[in-house]
């Protein structure tokens, strides 16, 4: 039936509104490609079946995508009178429940994500209804808060295959509106007033392009919609067409009317079959309704369009290439000028705009160009749809006013990392864009600001990267992409990218030299300036931005031949080994254990980590964060296995054989002497390796026993001292000498050490407590965490009692809390941020809670309340709220006017530790502003020749394995400088074992160590975590997927052969 005039359109609007709002309950299932990929089709069928079995009278329709990909499949339910309710994560099994509830006139609240009381479609308005206040309104949940849906105005709410529903929300009324304007110029005027810029990437003003086309004189003009969304990581155009194809048609109709084009082409990627199908259906419906073809809406205006499927060439997004493609040739661009507005398709004036540009048009005509221009910033008006993907919790399509800060998108809408890992960068604009580092997340997202950072808006892809992403690899990835998509016509792009890719490959393979980066930097500006089209001109952006912001990663790949993120395959053994600060050969000891070769397993463990029993208990196990077994079920419990290996060595005479093996592997004496100051983890590690490397080593310790923080800060229940003593015994056995009560600056002078020894390693740690800066901090019952822990470690006696408040959220705070409870105190931990922000190890926080600690969050200390006798009676806290996101992606606590007091008898301040800088300064060592020692990043050498430093003294309060790693690295550097040789590999030895990747995941579920019952922990310093037995350790070792085995062939039956090498 043809729509001849405005009244007829209005009639259809009523029919459409009936479908949306009247005639009983209505269920809409989000059936975009992404929804279907997540099982929406099955959900649709299941709900249908459930309705049939129940004999329910309700309507079920497919709708488009509401954008929240992370919550798919999404289903919306509307019961007349109430709000529209969006259900999330719906699975087919939910169908009977959903239908039952609807039958009973209720909303299936169990699955509800949010509700919509009324919706502004901008071209129209729909009021659903009220009720179900317990369900949050859509704009109250983080993912939608701050979004402004213009392009996505109808997506997920209407049936994209029903033209009547599009008309119901005001569709095609903007076209009517355009027809009713006195002249076509006024349509273009509105677009110019809106200051709408092209959404495809370059941001050229759409109104200006239209005006050019309108002025061009020709017998035929074309308009083209660029829907060749080839930018990997961007999929908004697919969703826009799948969810609301008529808005694109209407936008193009208005554009054709205004510019006088009679034919339109949509160039759509063949990889989007559903978008093709829906657009074809929409066009057929529009043709039938007289909205395409001749005499549109009863006017003399004629326009039709056809759809051409692109066949997979990214360069066709370039307008002259797209024209070549439409003319039946390979999509190679040609130089401009002439611009398509002058000479385009078949030599005729042509205008090409991106999908999203066209989709904004109906709103601009309906609401007026000036009101559109009020959204966004003055130079970047309106909104932009971004696809927020990668390492982000809330993936999905996000429509934000231009000028929104990047951090609000990443941390606000996206809610940061799904795994708690540090977010490193966001890549915007795909292969033509750049990587924006976290420190620039304050940047407003608009065309100019992104340009300043070296990135571009592009099509709106936003790929979030975390610490597991290697930025050199990212640059290589994008360059490989543009290289493989380069048409090959012009030399700078064809060969410039080829050379660049090969240079980047060299870097990623560890074969590069510093001059290769120089070559890369020389090629980039040439490619940018000399290439024929946008593909080549923007291809350098990912390289240029990663070089600008992540140069250290390039340097690391070249200098140390390691890839910190564990991505560049040739530069690491396995993800676990790579993420271990000590680079423990984890797959090796797991495999040796599997092969019943525990003696060698123990040897390799000791060679890689001289404190395997201690670290087996207290390491923060970064290895687990990268374990690929986590993709199958849960990471391998690697730490517990090396603890088991070390414990079994000490339990019998295995340790004797391990010690023998270590001695056998020692380099013959070099005659060189080294002094180590401080016997914490860093000092012990340096001493171990220096000794193994053949040097004569003496350790100077301030206290009466060795171990540093391991002995004096770590509570007995986490690390029994007898274990530590055993480990130190091994060091003594291989020849390390210890001198106690030797304090640097007080009796022990650095220059006498440098006179007597060939090298000195300083690792005196962070024993100074940071002051909280509050009144009453120096009262007798106010403890600093480290001092408190040391006191208890020495005496095991209650030095504290009654009610104790611990201030802080790190490991020292939790250790203090659990220790205080063991000496009889009742403990409350107060922390200024939220629980999820606490830096302490999660298992420790959980254990503290189990043991009875209370937590108060969002509270910062103000004042210790002291009575007239000078005793502590409480602590006054100030309530904080979470403000803006900081560079780490955590919200900064902001003080409020609310104060409260926790009554208590003692306070433990655990707000951080610092080194004591005075002895360093006296010795002439450079000290940084944060009181740590300044050292060369590669060698650990200080400004004094032959004097090295490491551990917390350099890094500030850190963790055991990182501290040990600095000791290991310094020993390596000292040895190289003393001998001129590289003997570390000899010390570390090579082990051989079977290299077979399991065909299926083996070993079953992750094993966790048994623990002491909570009841038994009170008043006791007995070790809480009991460790694996032999059977469990073996079982856990079997779970390893052997990521270290990189080359292996499989025959077609799936039986695996060992590689021939």
Choose, by CB under 8 A, the member of 492, 707, 765, 915 that binds another protein: 492
How far, in Å, CA of 891 to CA of 412, rounded?
A: 10
Choose, by CB under 8 A, the member of 625, 988, 1001, 1042 that binds another protein: 1001
Stretch that binds another protein, among 324-332, 636-644, 743-751, 895-903 (CB under 8 A): 324-332
Strand partners, 860: 878
What are the angstrom distances between the C-alpha of 970 and each of 343, 622, 665, 687, 954? 67, 21, 20, 10, 12
In terms of CB distance, is 985 or 1047 closer to another protein? 1047
How far, in Å, CA of 33 to CA of 818, rounded?
A: 51
- Based on the shown chain and the rule CB under 8 A, indicate whether residue 238 belongs to the binding site for another protein: yes
- Is 176 in a helix, a strand, or coil? helix
* Full DSSP string of 908-944: EE-S-EE---HHHHHHT--B-TTSPBP--TTT-B-SS
In terms of CB distance, is 346 or 740 closer to another protein? 346
Compute the least distance from the CB of residue 402 to another protein, in Å: 22
- Based on the shown chain and the rule CB under 8 A, indicate whether residue 1028 belongs to the binding site for another protein: no
Span 507-546, contacts to another protein by CB under 8 A: 519, 522-523, 526, 529-532, 537
Asked whether the beta carbons of 157 and 365 are under 8 A apart, the reply is no
Span 274-313, contacts to another protein by CB under 8 A: 308-313
First to last CA, the chain: 74
* Planar angle of CA 707, 708, 712, nearest 5 degrees: 100
Choose, by CB under 8 A, the member of 15, 22, 24, 37 that binds another protein: 37
Compute the least distance from the CB of residue 312 to another protein, in Å: 4
- Based on the shown chain and the rule CB under 8 A, indicate whether residue 325 belongs to the binding site for another protein: yes
Span 600-639, contacts to another protein by CB under 8 A: 628, 631-632
User: For 653, how many CA atoms within 13 A lie in the half-sphere containing its CB?
Assistant: 0
Stretch that binds another protein, among 15-23, 327-335, 553-561, 886-894 (CB under 8 A): 327-335
- Based on the shown chain and the rule CB under 8 A, indicate whether residue 729 belongs to the binding site for another protein: no
In terms of CB distance, is 134 or 522 closer to another protein? 522
In terms of CB distance, is 756 or 1005 closer to another protein? 1005
Compute the least distance from the CB of residue 463 to another protein, in Å: 5
- Based on the shown chain and the rule CB under 8 A, indicate whether residue 214 belongs to the binding site for another protein: no
Choose, by CB under 8 A, the member of 235, 358, 688, 761 that binds another protein: 235
How far, in Å, CA of 538 to CA of 380, rounded?
A: 21
In terms of CB distance, is 488 or 671 closer to another protein? 488
- Based on the shown chain and the rule CB under 8 A, indicate whether residue 358 belongs to the binding site for another protein: no
Q: List CB contacts of 273: < 8 A, sequence separation 6 or more.
A: none
- Based on the shown chain and the rule CB under 8 A, indicate whether residue 349 belongs to the binding site for another protein: no
How far, in Å, CA of 658 to CA of 646, rounded?
A: 10
- Based on the shown chain and the rule CB under 8 A, indicate whether residue 391 belongs to the binding site for another protein: yes
Compute the least distance from the CB of residue 713 to another protein, in Å: 38
Span 465-484, contacts to another protein by CB under 8 A: 465, 469, 474, 477-478, 481, 483-484
Helix axes 514-530, 551-559, angle to 10 degrees: 140
Span 54-83, contacts to another protein by CB under 8 A: 69-70, 72
How far, in Å, CA of 847 to CA of 841, rounded?
A: 10
Compute the least distance from the CB of residue 525 to another protein, in Å: 8
Choose, by CB under 8 A, the member of 76, 259, 427, 432 that binds another protein: 427
How far, in Å, CA of 681 to CA of 611, rounded?
A: 8
In terms of CB distance, is 877 or 1045 closer to another protein? 1045
Tokens of residue 177, six digits: 């509106």
Tokens of residue 575, six digits: 């993800």
From the list 549, 941, 512, 945, the residue with the least C-alpha distance to 755 is 945
- Based on the shown chain and the rule CB under 8 A, indicate whether residue 486 belongs to the binding site for another protein: yes
Please report where in the chains the tokens 């040609």 appear, as a residue: 334
- Based on the shown chain and the rule CB under 8 A, indicate whether residue 330 belongs to the binding site for another protein: yes
- Based on the shown chain and the rule CB under 8 A, indicate whether residue 419 belongs to the binding site for another protein: no
In terms of CB distance, is 456 or 1041 closer to another protein? 1041
Stretch that binds another protein, among 33-41, 76-84, 244-252, 293-301 (CB under 8 A): 33-41
- Is 328 in a helix, a strand, or coil? coil
Please report where in the chains the tokens 């929104």 appear, as a residue: 404
User: For 1040, how many CA atoms within 13 A lie in the half-sphere containing its CB?
Assistant: 29
Tokens of residue 261, six digits: 């084009």
How far, in Å, CA of 835 to CA of 806, rounded?
A: 14
In terms of CB distance, is 245 or 809 closer to another protein? 245
- Based on the shown chain and the rule CB under 8 A, indicate whether residue 38 belongs to the binding site for another protein: yes
Tokens of residue 707, six digits: 């171990």
Stretch that binds another protein, among 358-366, 388-396, 938-946, 1009-1017 (CB under 8 A): 388-396
* Planar angle of CA 830, 831, 837, nearest 5 degrees: 145
Compute the least distance from the CB of residue 430 to another protein, in Å: 7
In terms of CB distance, is 514 or 663 closer to another protein? 514
Choose, by CB under 8 A, the member of 15, 378, 795, 1048 that binds another protein: 1048
Compute the least distance from the CB of residue 588 to another protein, in Å: 21
- Based on the shown chain and the rule CB under 8 A, indicate whether residue 488 belongs to the binding site for another protein: yes
Compute the least distance from the CB of residue 289 to another protein, in Å: 24
Asked whether the beta carbons of 890 and 417 are under 8 A apart, the reply is no
Stretch that binds another protein, among 109-117, 463-471, 806-814, 943-951 (CB under 8 A): 463-471
Please report where in the chains the tokens 């980039």 appear, as a residue: 524
Compute the least distance from the CB of residue 866 to another protein, in Å: 54
Stretch that binds another protein, among 119-127, 185-193, 809-817, 1043-1051 (CB under 8 A): 1043-1051
Kindly tell me the burial class for residue 795, based on how many C-beta atoms sit within 10 Å of its own C-beta (0-12, 13-18, 19 or more). Answer: exposed
- Length of the chain in residues, anyone? 1061
In terms of CB distance, is 125 or 502 closer to another protein? 502
How far, in Å, CA of 518 to CA of 522, rounded?
A: 6
Q: For another protein, how many residues bind (rule: CB under 8 A)? A: 97
How far, in Å, CA of 527 to CA of 288, rounded?
A: 50
Choose, by CB under 8 A, the member of 106, 502, 926, 994 that binds another protein: 502
Compute the least distance from the CB of residue 147 to another protein, in Å: 16
From the list 341, 291, 336, 342, the residue with the least C-alpha distance to 318 is 336
Assess whether the previous peptide bond of 41 is cis (omega < 30° from 0): no
How far, in Å, CA of 69 to CA of 89, rounded?
A: 10
How far, in Å, CA of 888 to CA of 899, rounded?
A: 27
- Based on the shown chain and the rule CB under 8 A, indicate whether residue 356 belongs to the binding site for another protein: no
Choose, by CB under 8 A, the member of 78, 132, 143, 272 that binds another protein: 272
What are the angstrom distances between the C-alpha of 375 and each of 154, 237, 379? 18, 21, 10
In terms of CB distance, is 238 or 594 closer to another protein? 238
Please report where in the chains the tokens 């003496």 appear, as a residue: 698
In terms of CB distance, is 624 or 716 closer to another protein? 624
- Based on the shown chain and the rule CB under 8 A, indicate whether residue 389 belongs to the binding site for another protein: yes
Choose, by CB under 8 A, the member of 354, 360, 395, 691 that binds another protein: 395
Strand partners, 877: 861, 900
- Is 48 in a helix, a strand, or coil? helix
Compute the least distance from the CB of residue 491 to another protein, in Å: 5
Stretch that binds another protein, among 118-126, 457-465, 777-785, 980-988 (CB under 8 A): 457-465
Choose, by CB under 8 A, the member of 73, 251, 390, 1003 that binds another protein: 390
Span 674-693, contacts to another protein by CB under 8 A: none
How far, in Å, CA of 787 to CA of 581, rounded?
A: 28
Tokens of residue 784, six digits: 């600093």
């Amino acid at each position: 039936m043809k729509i001849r005039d405005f009244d007829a359109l209005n009639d259809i609007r009523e029919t459409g509104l009936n479908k949306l709002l009247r005639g009983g309950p209505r269920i809409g299932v989000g059936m975009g490609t992404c929804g279907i990929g997540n099982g929406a089709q099955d959900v649709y069928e299941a709900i249908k079946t459930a309705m049939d079995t129940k004999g329910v009278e309700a309507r079920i329709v497919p709708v488009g995508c509401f954008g929240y990909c992370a919550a798919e499949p999404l289903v919306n339910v509307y019961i007349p009178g109430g709000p529209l309710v969006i259900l999330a994560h719906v699975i087919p099994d939910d169908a009977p429940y959903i239908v039952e509830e609807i039958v009973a006139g209720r909303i299936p609240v169990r699955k509800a994500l949010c509700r919509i009381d009324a919706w502004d479609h901008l071209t129209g308005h729909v009021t659903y209804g009220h009720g179900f206040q317990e369900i949050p309104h859509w704009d109250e949940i983080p993912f939608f808060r701050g979004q402004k849906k213009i392009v996505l105005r109808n997506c997920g709410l209407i049936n994209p295959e029903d033209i009547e529903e599009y008309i119901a929300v005001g569709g095609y009324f903007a076209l009517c509106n355009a027809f009713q304007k006195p002249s076509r110029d006024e349509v273009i005027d509105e677009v110019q007033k809106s200051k709408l810029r092209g959404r495809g990437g370059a941001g050229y003003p759409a109104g200006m392009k239209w005006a050019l086309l309108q002025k061009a004189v020709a017998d035929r003009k074309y308009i083209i919609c660029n829907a060749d969304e080839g930018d990997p990581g961007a999929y908004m155009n697919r969703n826009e067409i799948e969810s609301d194809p008529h808005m694109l048609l209407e936008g193009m109709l208005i554009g054709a009317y205004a510019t006088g084009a009679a034919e339109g082409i949509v160039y759509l990627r063949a990889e989007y079959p559903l978008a093709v199908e829906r657009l074809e259906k929409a066009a057929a419906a529009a043709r039938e309704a007289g909205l395409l073809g001749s005499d549109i809406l009863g006017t003399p205006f004629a326009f039709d369009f056809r759809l051409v499927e692109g066949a997979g060439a990214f360069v066709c997004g370039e307008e002259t290439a797209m024209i070549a493609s439409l003319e039946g040739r390979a999509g190679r661009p040609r130089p401009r000028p002439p611009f398509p507005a002058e000479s385009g398709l078949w030599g005729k004036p042509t205008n090409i705009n991106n999908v999203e540009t066209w989709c904004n048009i109906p709103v601009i005509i309906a609401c007026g160009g000036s009101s559109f221009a009020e959204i966004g910033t003055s130079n970047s008006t309106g909104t932009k749809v971004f696809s927020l993907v990668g390492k982000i919790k809330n993936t999905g399509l996000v429509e934000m006013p231009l000028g929104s800060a990047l951090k609000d998108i990443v941390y606000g809408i996206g809610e940061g990392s799904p795994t708690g890992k540090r977010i490193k960068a966001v890549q915007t604009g795909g292969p033509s864009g750049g990587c924006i580092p976290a420190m620039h997340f304050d940047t407003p997202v608009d065309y100019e600001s992104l340009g300043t950072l070296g990135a571009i808006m592009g099509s709106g892809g936003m790929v979030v990267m975390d610490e597991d992403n290697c930025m050199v690899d990212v640059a290589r990835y994008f360059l490989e992409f543009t290289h493989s998509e380069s048409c090959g016509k012009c030399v700078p792009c064809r060969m410039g990218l080829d050379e660049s890719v090969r240079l980047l490959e060299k870097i990623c393979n560890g074969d590069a030299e510093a001059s290769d980066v120089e070559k890369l930097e020389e090629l980039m500006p040439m490619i940018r300036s000399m290439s024929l089209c946008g593909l080549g001109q923007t291809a350098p952006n990912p390289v240029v931005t990663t070089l600008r912001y992540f140069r250290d990663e390039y340097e690391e790949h070249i200098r140390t031949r390691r890839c910190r993120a564990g991505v560049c395959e040739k530069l690491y053994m396995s993800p676990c080994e790579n993420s271990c600060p000590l680079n423990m050969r984890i797959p090796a000891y797991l495999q040796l254990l599997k092969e019943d070769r525990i003696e060698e397993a123990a040897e390799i463990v000791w060679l890689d980590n001289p404190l395997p029993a201690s670290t087996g208990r207290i390491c923060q196990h970064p290895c687990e964060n990268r374990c690929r077994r986590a993709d199958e079920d849960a990471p391998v419990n690697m730490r517990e296995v090396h603890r088991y290996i070390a414990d079994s060595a000490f339990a019998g005479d295995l340790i004797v054989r391990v010690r023998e093996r270590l001695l056998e592997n020692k380099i013959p004496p070099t005659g060189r002497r080294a002094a180590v100051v401080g016997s914490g983890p860093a000092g012990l590690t340096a001493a171990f390796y220096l000794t193994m490397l053949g040097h004569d080593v003496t350790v100077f310790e301030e206290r009466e026993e060795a171990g540093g923080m391991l002995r004096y800060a770590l509570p007995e229940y986490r690390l029994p001292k007898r274990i530590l003593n055993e480990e130190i015994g091994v060091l003594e056995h291989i020849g390390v000498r210890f001198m106690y009560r030797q304090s640097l600056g007080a009796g022990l002078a650095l220059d006498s050490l440098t006179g007597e020894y060939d090298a000195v390693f300083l690792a005196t740690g962070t024993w100074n407590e940071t002051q909280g800066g509050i009144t009453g901090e120096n009262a007798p019952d106010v403890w600093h965490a480290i001092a408190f822990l040391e006191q208890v470690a020495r005496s095991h006696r209650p030095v504290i009692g009654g009610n104790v408040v611990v201030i802080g959220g790190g490991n020292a705070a939790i250790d203090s809390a659990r220790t205080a409870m063991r000496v009889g105190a009742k403990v409350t931990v107060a922390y200024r941020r939220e629980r999820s922000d606490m830096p302490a190890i999660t298992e420790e926080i959980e254990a503290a809670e189990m043991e009875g600690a209370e937590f108060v969050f969002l509270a910062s200390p103000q004042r210790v309340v002291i009575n007239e006798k000078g005793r502590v009676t409480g602590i006054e806290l100030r309530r904080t709220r979470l403000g803006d996101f900081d560079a780490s992606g955590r919200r900064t606590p902001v003080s409020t006017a609310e104060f409260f007091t926790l009554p208590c008898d003692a306070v433990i301040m655990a707000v951080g530790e610092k080194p004591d800088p005075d002895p360093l300064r006296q010795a002439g060592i450079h000290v940084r502003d944060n009181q740590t020692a300044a050292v060369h990043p590669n060698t650990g050498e200080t400004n004094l020749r032959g004097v090295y430093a490491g551990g917390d003294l350099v890094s500030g309060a850190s963790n055991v394995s990182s501290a040990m790693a600095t000791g290991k690295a310094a020993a390596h550097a000292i040895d190289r400088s003393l001998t001129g040789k590289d003997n570390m590999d000899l010390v570390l030895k090579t082990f051989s074992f079977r290299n077979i990747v399991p065909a299926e995941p083996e070993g079953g579920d992750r094993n966790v160590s048994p623990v002491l019952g909570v009841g038994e922990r009170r008043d006791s310093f007995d070790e809480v975590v009991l460790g694996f037995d032999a059977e469990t350790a073996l079982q856990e070792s079997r779970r390893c997927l052997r990521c270290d085995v990189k080359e292996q062939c499989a025959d077609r039956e799936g039986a695996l052969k060992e590689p021939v090498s």
